[in-house]
Amino acid sequence: MKIKSVRARVFEWKGRTVPPQGNFCSNAMDLVYDNRANAHAAGQDTMNTFRFHGWTVVEVETDDGIVGLGNVALAPKIAKAIIDEYLAPLVLGQDPWDYEYLNQRMYRATHAWGRKGVGMAAISAVDIAIWDILGKSVNKPVFKLLGGRTKEKIPCYYSKLYRTDLKEMQAEAAKFLDQGFKAFKMRFGYGPAHGQKGVVENLKSVEAVREVIGYDNDLMLECYMGWNLEYAKRMLPKLEKYQPRWLEEPVIADDIDGYVELNQLTSIPISGGEHEFGLYGFKQLLDRKAVSVVQYDTNRVGGITMALKINALCEAYSVPVIPHAGQMHNYHLTMSSLNCPISEYFPIHDVEVGNELFYYIFDGDPAAENGFLQLDDHKPGLGLTLKTEYLDQFSITE
């Protein structure tokens, strides 16, 4: 079996989207003022650069007709160019079962410019497609190739509690509490740029959600890199009484010293890794004790081949792995690792931030039932197919 072709297409969403709201989610752009002449008229949507309304879909085909699906959401047009120009030539004519060799080949050949960011994300898409081929070629789900089933089903946490009107947040939390979820993640809407008023608003939102879900359910708090060290040091002691399971990405990903300090500051575990790339990046985080929970995304860190190594590394440090965003490429790794206790979960909903776009492109992701996800022992590969229902709402670039 040899790889015959690599096809990368960019799917850009042209359908209806939920209009942006102010203070929807704190993020790294909050501290940078907008000096454009029309900034006030355009509104203060600092989340704009973190919305993913495009996706690169990769189809790797073998000479015996097996097609593997991979994907990448970061900078999709650039990712496509990298795959077409640099990665495809490295894997064409190769045996997909030599996945470690192929992963190393892509990683090392692009190392001068691709070892972080979109370069690694592009490698991830090709690697994920290769693993889909492997599962399909032996008629087994990918998780069976990674170690098999380590849990009867995957517990998952509801992750769509963005900062909106407090009553709306409470109603949303109550709705999914009634559906059996035992864990919830909410976003802060305010950071250092919003002063003391923002501090008060942040605390109000945590209190509002805790009021609904109680203290016998888990609550996770996300900053999405929207704070800085000084602000986070003021906030963490105030948040302890709400007993969060973790505080996610309080500072930008490059501020490893900040993560180290915050992870030792209070009883609240600090999580991160969504914006880290590759094995060595996570080794640095673990050696420094910068995070207590690792949250890589398989379609960013170098694919399933690299994620397996990160899982083993984290297990040796007794740091759990809870991959970012859910989605099938992450669920297979969670099912096959005892060190991955729970999954992030977004229900299918209108296109907003962009994570949900996955469900408009692919069929096969499991729906949560009573706070759990199940993978099919008899569905080969990743278990995904391309969805045709919404094709007319995408602009597709070959």
Residue 10's domain is classified under what CATH number? 3.30.390.10
Same domain, 215 and 343: yes
On whether residue 170 sits in a domain, the answer given is yes
Same domain, 89 and 153: no
Separation between Cα atoms, residue 154 and residue 67, nearest integer Å: 27
On whether residue 394 sits in a domain, the answer given is no
Separation between Cα atoms, residue 25 and residue 226, nearest integer Å: 8
On whether residue 81 sits in a domain, the answer given is yes
> What is the tens place of the pLDDT at every residue in 321-360?
999 999 999 999 999 999 999 999 999 888 888 788 999 9
Domain range enclosing 95: 3-139
Residue 344's domain is classified under what CATH number? 3.20.20.120
Same domain, 72 and 94: yes
Q: Say what the pLDDT of residue 41 is.
A: 47
Same domain, 94 and 175: no
Q: Say what the pLDDT of residue 52 is.
A: 79
Separation between Cα atoms, residue 6 and residue 9, nearest integer Å: 10
Handedness of CA 317, 74, 62, 104 (dihedral sign): negative
Same domain, 134 and 255: no
Where does a domain end: 106, 139, 172? 139
| Tokens at 303, concatenated | 């694919």
pLDDT band at 42 (very low <50, low <70, confident <90, very high): very low
One-letter amino acid for residue 34 of the chain: D
- Burial (CB < 10 A; 0-12, 13-18, 19+), residue 103, is buried
Report the 10 Å Cβ neighbour count for 216: 6
On whether residue 284 sits in a domain, the answer given is yes
Same domain, 71 and 160: no
Contact 67, 61 (CB under 8 A): yes
Percent of the chain at pLDDT exceeding 70: 97
One-letter amino acid for residue 273 of the chain: G
Sheet containing 3-13, strands listed edge to edge, beginning at the edge strand earlier in sequence: 67-72, 54-62, 3-13, 394-397
Same domain, 171 and 80: no
> What is the tens place of the pLDDT at every residue in 193-242?
999 999 999 999 999 999 999 999 999 999 999 999 999 999 999 999 99
pLDDT band at 45 (very low <50, low <70, confident <90, very high): low
Q: pLDDT at residue 383 above 50?
A: yes
Same domain, 119 and 149: no
Same domain, 87 and 160: no
* Structural domain count, the chain: 2
Tell me if residue 222 falls in helix, strand or coil. Answer: strand
Q: pLDDT at residue 33 above 90?
A: no
Give the pairing of strands 293-294 and 270-272.
Answer: parallel
Q: Say what the pLDDT of residue 321 is.
A: 98
Where does a domain end: 104, 139, 174? 139
On whether residue 94 sits in a domain, the answer given is yes
Q: How far is CA 97 from CA 2, 103, 228, 305, in A?
A: 9, 11, 44, 11
On whether residue 22 sits in a domain, the answer given is yes
- List the catalytic residue out of 194, 275, 324, 329: 324
Q: How far is CA 30 from CA 194, 238, 392, in A?
A: 9, 21, 35
On whether residue 203 sits in a domain, the answer given is yes
On whether residue 398 sits in a domain, the answer given is no
Query: Residue 187's beta-bridge partner residues?
Result: 222
* DSSP run (H or E) holding 397: strand 394-397
pLDDT band at 274 (very low <50, low <70, confident <90, very high): very high
> What is the tens place of the pLDDT at every residue in 136-185?
999 999 999 999 999 999 999 999 999 999 999 999 999 999 999 999 99
Contact 74, 121 (CB under 8 A): yes
Same domain, 28 and 113: yes
Gyration radius from the chain CA atoms: 21
Same domain, 304 and 291: yes
Where does a domain end: 77, 107, 139? 139
Same domain, 127 and 232: no
Q: Of 257, 236, 248, which is closest to residue 275 (Cα–Cα)?
A: 248
pTM: 0.96
> What is the tens place of the pLDDT at every residue in 281-295?
999 999 999 999 999
Q: What is the DSSP letter of 365?
A: P
Q: pLDDT at residue 39 above 70?
A: no
Mean pLDDT computed over 67-85? 97
Q: Is 324 a catalytic residue?
A: yes
| Tokens at 50, concatenated | 């973190």
